[in-house]
Structures are given as structure tokens and as C-alpha cells.
Amino acid sequence: MPLPLSDSPEFSKFLSRAEKLATEMDRGNEMKIELIEKAKEFGLLSLKPEGEEFLKIVEELSKRNQSLALSLVANSMFLVEFEEWGSAETLHAFAITEPKSGSDLKACRTKLNDGKVYGVKTLVTNAELAESFAVLASESGRLKLCVVRRDDKVKVRKLNVSSFRGSGIGVVKFDGAEAEDVKEEGTKAVMRTLTYSRPFFSAIALGMSERCLEVAINYAKRRRAFGKSVLEFQGVSFQLAECVTEVEALRCLILEALRKREHLSAVCKLFAAKTVKKVTDVCLQVLAGHGLIRGGYVERAYRDAKAFDVGEGTSEIMKLLISRRF
């Protein structure tokens, strides 16, 4: 029986290359075509957000290059409603947020008129290199989700974000771009997509937290102060112990959310945001001044962690979704 992709030697080489390019991607805020092409070879661009194997791929990749992991999760979101577009040769994007609306889908201003899309979407992951977009648009007062191919009617401007640099986050303007494969119930399609993808978005937080803990614990073992290792001080070791506990709890919650998406997707996302923010903060504190130096994994993760409070539904919206089940 062949090894799962996540355990194969070829994939290990891919992870190593992704790790080497992570700092460069962050510094230049540029996607690496080399990595996208390699992801195509592995068939990663045809994967929907489902299954423990894809979950493990996202987790392991996030330990090395969380921006690339985010690109894969964003690509998979497109495929929830448009699975037939899942060619391994195409990078996709999911374009929902607008300059004046985010969580409030009904405030969508992008229009679908006579089969053409007009409007602006922002904070679109993969916008830099995506060849097709899932776009939420309003037609005669009803929200619909459609596919728009990248052409001269689609203009992209990259955003200078502080989090997940190198994941191609940008503004996309549609000026009469042709709509294809229109889904009539746009709101339900978007909500279904987010319900499916949130455990995988949370897996990015899991991988980041694990890597930060690895870095911080190893550093605390080597660093000496007042005649002993920093890790021997309970003020340090107890905080790290709490972080390890919460990371293990997050892992269990993510796996359970795969089986009970409707009940746990929002819970999983909310807890992931809390966990990764705490872990990156504690680990940076352990590294002290060294943790603030650009180019280190923990420094990058510290900046990225806040995005989990915002992306794929804010933490406030997660609490709203959870409270509706009371």
C-alpha cells in the first residue's frame, strides 16, 4: 500500500523547499510560482476541504510556510461549490469580502447583470495568481455565487498586508467579466463553504502553534540565566505547559469538527484563534528580544496569528453562530 502523500519522501522535499522560501515570501509579499507549480504536481489544487489526509498536509505545511498553507485552503474553498472545476492545473480564489461589507453578506454591492459581473472584492487570498474566482454577486436583489475566469475584465491590485504575506492577498475589480456556473442560493453556498473550510483554516493555527512551541522550548533549554536554563524557571515552563495543553485540545477539536461540522465548525475556529494568539505571544516572550527579529518563524507567526480573529468570519461572528444554538 503506498504511503499517504503527507508521509512521502517527495512531499518532505516539498516541505523543505517551502520552508526555505517562507522568509523570502514574507519579506517581498510575493507568491512563489515554483511552489504553486509543485503543489499542482502533487494534486493539491484539486482537493476540497475534507478528510484527515488534507488536514495533515495543511498542518505540516503550516509549520514551515503558513502563507502557502493558506493558499491551499483558500483554493479548496472554491471547490466546495464548484468541484467540477477542480483541475490540478488551476489556482482558485474565493472572493466574498468587499471594501464596505464583510460579515454582512446582504450588503454585497457587486452586481450580476446579463451574465456579467461588476464590482470590487478585497482581502482575496490567492488574488495575485488565481486563474478563476468564486464571486458573490447580487442579481435583482438575490445573492448568487458564480465563477469568473481571469481575463482583461479582471484587475488585481496586491495589498500590503502584515499577516500571511506571500499568500497573494489583494483587491479584485470585475468590470463586466463573464459569469459562469451560477449558483442561485449564494448565501447558503457561502455559509456551506465556510462551515467546511473552518476546521482546515484552524489546522493552520495548529501547525503554527506547534512550530512556535518547538522553537521556544528548544531555545529555553539552551538559554541560561542566573546559573540555569530558562526552562527550569516555572514562570516559563508552566506557561509553555498551558500552551501545550491547549494545542492538544485544539487538535482534538479539529478532528471532531470534521465529523460534526454543523455543530463544531465555528467552535473550532474560535478556539483556534484564541489558542494561536496565546501560543505565539508566550513563545515570543520566551525568545525575548530575539523573537522580535524579522526573519524568524515566531515573529512571522506572531503577526499572522491575529488574522484568525478576522479571516473566514470574525471571532464575534463565531460567537454569534455558537450562541444561536442555545
Q: Which of 114, 98, 83, 95 is nearest to 178 (CA)?
A: 114
CB 279 within 8 A of CB 212: yes
Q: Which of 106, 104, 133 is nearest to 117 (CA)?
A: 133
Q: Which CATH superfamily is domain 92-185 in?
A: Butyryl-CoA Dehydrogenase, subunit A, domain 2 (2.40.110.10)
State the pTM of this model: 0.95
pLDDT for the residue 58 = 97
* Calpha distance 216→223 (Å, rounded): 10
Q: Name the CA dihedral angle for 50, 54, 170, 198, rounded to a multiple of 10 degrees.
A: 40
pLDDT by 10s per residue, the chain, length 326: 355 777 889 999 999 999 999 999 999 999 999 999 999 999 999 999 999 999 999 999 999 999 999 999 999 999 999 998 987 679 999 999 999 998 999 999 999 999 999 999 999 999 999 999 999 999 999 999 999 999 999 999 999 999 999 999 999 999 999 999 999 999 999 999 999 999 999 999 999 999 999 999 999 999 999 999 999 999 999 999 999 999 999 999 999 999 998 889 999 999 999 999 999 999 999 999 999 999 999 999 999 999 999 999 999 999 999 999 88
Which residue is associated with the grid cell 514562570?
235
* Calpha distance 115→56 (Å, rounded): 39
Burial 262-277, CB ≥16 within 10 A → b, else e: eebbbbbbbbbbebbb
What architecture is domain 189-323? Up-down Bundle (1.20)
CA distances from 42 to 32, 64, 174 (A): 16, 17, 31
Q: Where in the chain is the domain with CATH 2.40.110.10?
A: 92-185
Amino acid identity for residue 221 in this structure: K
Q: Where in the chain is the domain with CATH 1.20.140.10?
A: 189-323
3-state secondary structure (DSSP) of residue 206: helix
CB 96 within 8 A of CB 62: no
